[in-house]
Amino acid sequence: MQLDILMIEDEPNIAEAVRFILSREGWQVDLHPDGAGGIEAIQKRRPRLVILDLMLPNRSGAEILCDLRAANDADLAATPVLMLTARGEAAQAGAQADAVLTKPFDNEDLRAMVRRMLA
Amino acid sequence: MNERGGPHVLTGTRIRERRLALSRRQADVARSVGISPAYLNLIEHNRRPVGQDLITRLAEELDVPPDELSEGREEVRIAALREAAVHPVGSNAAAELEQVSEFLARFPGWAALLIAHARRGGGLERQLVDLSDRMTQDPYLLTTLHEVLSAVTSVRSTAAILVEEGEISADWRQRFHANLHQDSRRLSLTAQALVTYLDSFEAEGTAATPQEEVEAWLTSDEGRAGDVGALASDVARAMATDLQRGLTDDRSALPDDVLGDALLHPQAGDPVQLAARLGRPLDLVLRRLADLRPAGFEGAGLLICDGSGVLTLRRAAAGFPLPRPGDSCALWPLYHALAVPQVALERMVVTPEGRLFRTLSFATRSQPDGLAGPLLTRAVMLLLPAEGPVPPDALPIGPACRICPRAACPARREPSILVSQAAEGPRGQNPRPTAL
């Protein structure tokens, strides 16, 4: 069964809160806690949606997104990505992401955005 | 009138303007200073040069300080007035540039005031730019703000879960309460650190320390042109002058063409062999490589410290996060070199962000005051950005303890503001409740 959401986020408490919120909606959510290995995790899990933090250790969310969009596998390259950013970084993040959510965010906004992207 | 045609031109005009301002007759002044009225007339019309002795006598006779009439000072003032006139101040006023020397001669006090105001304005503008750069590029500030934002995001989402999500199992509720407690502590500590740091801006009274000012200057057009006058503070100008003197000495001791020729050798990538081939000290070769940044050494940075470990020169390598002056990481190989003078150390280092650098460090000892004088040690470290996978023996380093996330670092001397990992241990490591 295909994974619904892969979240790449190094802040464990944020990741935990997001997973809790989205899991309650019935979606299966997996976490990857580091920029390193992020693209490999996406390739391996093939999620329907990636939630990607911009500021990650070792490899930034923007770099992971570039790698993803440059993938030879067209289906993989087209994986929808929701980018989590600080307000000032939204422009940088938004270029290749399908949607951007600025931190701190309202849980209901997160839920609505994911619902829309997975519809 | 051509005020750029030669120094004497301006001096003559000033003598004439000053004499007329005092309503003195040309013949009387000429007689008093021991020259003929005809000769003074030629001087005043800028058709004869004026020697320093005569300037001194004329200045005394016309009751002004000699340097008010001296040529170099006048040139400098003309240049300063021109600069003040062309500086954009947001008004449509256009100064009469063709009359600048006349203005200076007739109204020296107003001219001095205008120059002082323009310089003050320029200094404040530079300070504002420095402050703005610091707010947007300072790694400490950026890291701290990121911490604040992360903690706030976690608190908001977690609190909303507890309030809005309805029934939650006791395990999860306890879990989220613990997370809230952890994040609120983290938030308060980070906020305190931020306030203390921002207070330091005010305490310093300037946007940057002199060392930071010089570092920014080094990478600017003014710095590349060696224009020390572009620096705002006296201390920064003195530091930059010393630095320039050192660079000039180094360039004389190892000229660009000599270094360039030696770099054509197949083993030029090894600075120890390079130094041996050149017959020059290794520390000089490392400094020159960082200065010249030839092929194979692009993006090179340089750190120099004295025997106390204080960094006396910091030229950032591309991607190497330098902390604020006075702060550093004890694991930098530069400090290892201090303990083993005259031994070249090569070490790959990796930053917390995963950036890899090749470092070459070397320390020297000297006794500039002879046998009876103190023994001085100095270490230099060349930093070269490296590509590829991080080798297993790469040394994990950081920028400085306060902004370093390496919790288990044996060299840690103070807690990190990244308290989540450094002071409290990793978060989110407890077993997660299963039922939602």
**pLDDT above 90: percentage of residues in chain A:** 75
Q: Which of A12, A21, A57 sits opposite B161 (nearest CB)?
A: A21
Q: Do residues B107 and B184 share a domain?
A: no
The architecture (CATH level 2) of A5-118 comes to 3-Layer(aba) Sandwich (3.40)
Q: Please indicate if any CB of chain B lies within 8 Å of the CB of A54.
A: no
Tell me which chain A residues have a C-beta less than 8 angstroms from the C-beta of B436. Answer: 20, 23-24
**pLDDT tens digits for range B138-177:** 777 778 888 899 999 999 999 999 999 888 999 999 999 9
- Residue of A11, A58, A109 to mutate when probing chain B, most B C-beta within 10 A: A11
Q: Say what the pLDDT of residue B426 is.
A: 43
Name the pLDDT band for B249 (thresholds 50, 70, 90): very high
Chosen domain end from B104, B126, B148: B126
Tell me if B149 and A57 make a contact (CB, 8 A cut-off): no
| DSSP secondary structure letters along A69-104 | HT-SSHHHHT--EEEEE-GGGHHHHHTT-SEEEESS
B315/B369 same-domain check: yes
Q: State percent of chain B over pLDDT 90.
A: 30
Q: Which amino acid is at A72?
A: N
User: Is residue B104 domain-shared with residue B162, that is, in the same domain?
Assistant: no
Which residue from B minimizes the CA distance to A12?
B428
| Nearest chain A CA: its distance from B164 CA (Å) | 9
pLDDT at B102 over 60: yes
- The whole-model pTM stands at 0.50
Is the CB of B160 less than 8 angstroms away from the CB of A12? no
Task: List the structure tokens of B244.
Answer: 């320039």
pLDDT higher than threshold 60 for residue B81: yes
For range B30-58, the mean pLDDT: 83
Instruction: Looking at the complex, report in whole angstroms how far the Cα of residue B158 sits from the nearest Cα belonging to chain A.
Output: 6
Average pLDDT over residues B409-418: 81
Does residue B160 share a domain with residue B96?
no
Mean pLDDT value of segment B216-238: 75
pLDDT of residue B125: 74
Residue B389, chain A, CB below 8 Å: the answer is no
Residues B152, A24: C-beta atoms closer than 8 Å: no
Is residue A116 within 8 A of residue A26, CB to CB? The reply is: no
Of the pLDDT bands very low, low, confident and very high (cuts 50, 70, 90), residue B136 is low
Q: Nearest Cα to B379, choosing from B344, B328, B329?
A: B344
Q: Is residue B194 part of a domain?
A: yes
**pLDDT by residue (tens digit) across B323-341?**
777 788 999 999 999 999 9
The residue among B126, B155, B180 that closes a domain is B126
Which of B 126-145 lie inside 8 A of A, CB atoms? 145
Tell me, yes or no, whether B237 lies in a domain: no
B12: domain CATH number?
1.10.260.40
A112 lies within 8 A of chain B by CB = no
Is the Cβ pair A14, B153 closer than 8 Å? yes
Give the residue ranges of DSSP H helices in B322-424: 333-339, 419-422
Closest CA relative to residue A54, chosen from A80, A18, A17, A88 = A88
Parent domain of B13: 7-126
Q: CB-based contact (8 Å) between A109 and chain B?
A: no
Q: Which among B126, B160, B187 is the end of a domain?
A: B126
